[in-house]
Structure 1
Amino acid sequence: MRMIAAVLMFVALPLAAAPQLDKLTLPKGFHIAVYSDQVPNARELAVGAKGTVFVGSNDADKVYALTDANGDGVAERVRVIASGLQLPVGVAFRNGDLYVSAVSRILVLRDIENHLDDPPAPEVVNGSFPTETHHGWKFIAFGPDGKLYVPIGAPCNVCDRGKAYAKITRMNADGSGLEDVAYGIRNSVGFDWQPGTDRLWFTSNGRDLMGDDMPSDTLNEVTRSGQHFGFPYCHQGDTLDPQFGQGKRCADYTPPALKLGPHVASLGMRFYTGKQFPAPYHGAAIIAEHGSWNRTKKSGYRVMTVRLKGSKVLSYEPLITGFMQDEKVWGRPADVQMLPDGSLLVSDDLAGAVYRVTYSAP
């Protein structure tokens, strides 16, 4: 019986598409390779002080640790360092500890890089977040202020739940001092702080069921605490919601810095602070677009570069395309994360892989 159960378990594994890197297109001089293809449902990425790559997951209950001991750009080992967690998408590393989001809880694995083979039990840092799983998984990151930023997505496609949802919060590393940062954010699954200004920028997913081309996902800048970015009353800075927009004005809310396109599912974003990529990429925001699920003609399924000068958007251009061919999808980018050498990791939860992007002058 045990043998039969094992066979059935093997057959029932998720049908991850194999990476098809030959189908990908990058600008001249850029190269992409598989860092690991053994990371089911790979989502948010974080890098430890010793170079360990930590990966959260969705549709799985595990957190992974990837190690490249010989420095050849390929992870030789993939360890499961936590399991049995609820949608542990978010991972953030600070002072030797790995913080993990699990819907209603923020957990921590202490001194994790010294215990990869015998990981500690996760400790609860804060267990007070909502229990809804609709937009309940969380991208998390530490800001320049040393606080952990945690989004709380709307528990719906579109609804008005006041200031309890649809916002970004922050707290101290020990879980205390939880406070709101910004409101009117349907669901942010990616944010970072701009080099030189330390201002928080974030991606946000637009609502569904307003047609193929409405509304757009957005890239946004927080310039003061307590800003309201419009949801559920105003979408993409200029379109009132058919139901919740009655009696409202878009002018009363903060517009986006950039419309990213309808239903592209903009997720992880980071500012490029390395030196390996050419100068035009320095300080640019790099965004993983997971791709549409409800559009007649698919959109997204790519990694994009947004060049900025302060708050001004200069350009919005592809870095990686080709995860979709003739409306058929084999990969869905979920997050991006720099390595110390300036190369860029990209997670792909459909292929269960993490890729490494490098640059060498042509």
Structure 2
Amino acid sequence: MKRSIFTLSLLSIFAFTSCKKEPSKEEKQEAKAEGSTTVKTAIGDITLPAPFETESVTKRNGMKDWPEGQTPKAPAGFTVTKFAGDLKNPRNTYVAPNGDIFVAESGTAGSADQITLFRDKDKDGTFESRIIFAEKLNQPYGLLILKDYFYVANTDGLYRYPYKTGETKLQSARGQKIVELPAGGYNNHWTRNLLANADGSKIYISVGSGSNVGEHGMENEVRRANILEVNPDGSGERIYASGLRNPVGMDWNPANKQLWTAVNERDELGDELVPDYITSVKEGGFYGWPYSYYGQIEDPRMKGKGKDLVAKAIVPDVPVGNHTASLGLAFYNKTAFPAEYRNGVFVGQHGSWNRSVLSGYKVLFVPFKNGKPSGPPQDFLTGFIADEKKAQAYGRPVDVTVMNDGSLLVNDDSGNTLWRVAATK
């Protein structure tokens, strides 16, 4: 496989870079002594504490069933209903040009490895048909239709299959692996998302890191922590942007056609580090991982390494909370919701594991004006936490999808449910 000059230059950097193990007590004290740092973001200044100012805590959630009739909570003026239940880890949703709704069901333990098709013929927000569209895949996530092909991003590669509009079964025997991808990854960074540009001439693939901060050796991070760009036949691969620890959600800003992504930042630096973020993605841009975060703030575990890259690291646009596992991202490009939501961004937050208090477990909204963020993130869909003291949750939002009728579909993979949020008429 041919690789771009930019890829090869990163390989040469990685070949001479290694990451130390857990910092010593003295090294942690030294990092803490450097104090906090204030960074200018697109929504104003934020002050980040010193690394290790608080202990790194593991606090994983347990799950409880949603009580009968209970739904997540949206702001006044919205109605939340269950679009579909009894799924098997519904991670990602894709709406086909003809309105068919495809849902990738996959995970890390007992993955369903299938795609389910929902068809709402009369477009009333309730499906009439529910069909298993594809089976025996390998942790599918990203889905895409371009011309006469259906694309599936499994964790190990991009596949394409012959497809005709309205088909209800994937022609699996005729599938072709057109891009080899590094499979799996650290802390479930196995998802590979897909997005095409406006004319369908390029496909963008998000690939998360294989480690927290390069601790397995940077030779294992080749083509990871990147957004890759390929042609529809899989050729012409290049790194579109790098240093993105785990980019998952991707969408185009409707105002200026700029690519945006949601990114999970690194762990084990304390409760308040490092905030996850959503950001515009600059072609050829480097966003810090693993050497630095929020621009030139060096990670003490990589101190002195990757200096040339750190010097050009880009500060992300919008911080969306510490350890929130922000995965889904969708611009609201319809008109059914009130005017203040138009052209803003919804963010699905899967929820924390590396923080002493649960954070995330909700859907955020970030307002935009004239193509730019115009205010801080706001809670939009909440109620997923059942008991914060006991660290129990009813569900965990992942993908967020703006539907053709202007409603918002939210994938709750742990609750095995698709929630539909509509403006009250």
After TM superposition, the score normalised by the length of structure 1 is 0.89
Flag the 1:29–1:238 CA change in 2: closer, same or farther, 3 A.
Answer: farther
Give, in angstroms, the shift of residue 221 of structure 1: 1.0
The 5 A counterparts of 1:80-229 are 80-95=132-147, 97-111=149-163, 113-116=165-168, 118-121=169-172, 123-134=175-186, 135-146=189-200, 147-159=202-214, 160-161=218-219, 164-223=223-282, 225-229=283-287
Give, in angstroms, the shift of residue 171 of structure 1: 1.0
What amino acid is aligned across from residue 142 of structure 1 in structure 2? Answer: A
Matched, 1:74 2:129: no
Match of 2:406 in 1: 342
What amino acid is aligned across from residue 213 of structure 2 in structure 1? Answer: V
Match of 2:11 in 1: none
* Contact 1:52-1:113 within 8 A present in 2 as well: no
1:73-113 deviation line (CA, Å, top 9, x unaligned): 22233222111111102212333543111112112233254
Matched, 1:264 2:300: no
Give, in angstroms, the shift of residue 125 of structure 1: 4.3
* Contact 1:163-1:183 within 8 A present in 2 as well: no
For residues 247 and 238 of structure 2, the distance between their equivalents in structure 1, rounded to whole angstroms, comes to 17
Q: Give the SS at the match of 1:228.
A: coil
Match of 1:39 in 2: 87
For residues 359 and 217 of structure 1, the distance between their equivalents in structure 2, rounded to whole angstroms, comes to 28
Flag the 1:115–1:196 CA change in 2: closer, same or farther, 3 A.
Answer: same
Matched, 1:242 2:300: yes
Flag the 1:168–1:21 CA change in 2: closer, same or farther, 3 A.
Answer: farther
What amino acid is aligned across from residue 280 of structure 2 in structure 1? Answer: E
1:251-278 deviation line (CA, Å, top 9, x unaligned): 5310010111111000010110001001
Flag the 1:302–1:238 CA change in 2: closer, same or farther, 3 A.
Answer: farther
After TM superposition, the score normalised by the length of structure 2 is 0.76
For residues 95 and 44 of structure 1, the distance between their equivalents in structure 2, rounded to whole angstroms, comes to 21
Q: Which runs of 5+ in 2 are unaligned?
A: 1-62
The RMSD of aligned alpha carbons is 2.1
Give, in angstroms, the shift of residue 21 of structure 1: 6.3
What amino acid is aligned across from residue 233 of structure 2 in structure 1? Answer: D
Matched length:
345
* Contact 1:20-1:330 within 8 A present in 2 as well: no
For residues 90 and 40 of structure 1, the distance between their equivalents in structure 2, rounded to whole angstroms, comes to 16
Flag the 1:109–1:292 CA change in 2: closer, same or farther, 3 A.
Answer: same
Q: Give the SS at the match of 2:400.
A: strand
Give, in angstroms, the shift of residue 27 of structure 1: 1.3
For residues 321 and 290 of structure 2, the distance between their equivalents in structure 1, rounded to whole angstroms, comes to 18
Give, in angstroms, the shift of residue 132 of structure 1: 3.8
Flag the 1:112–1:210 CA change in 2: closer, same or farther, 3 A.
Answer: farther
Q: Give the SS at the match of 2:267.
A: coil
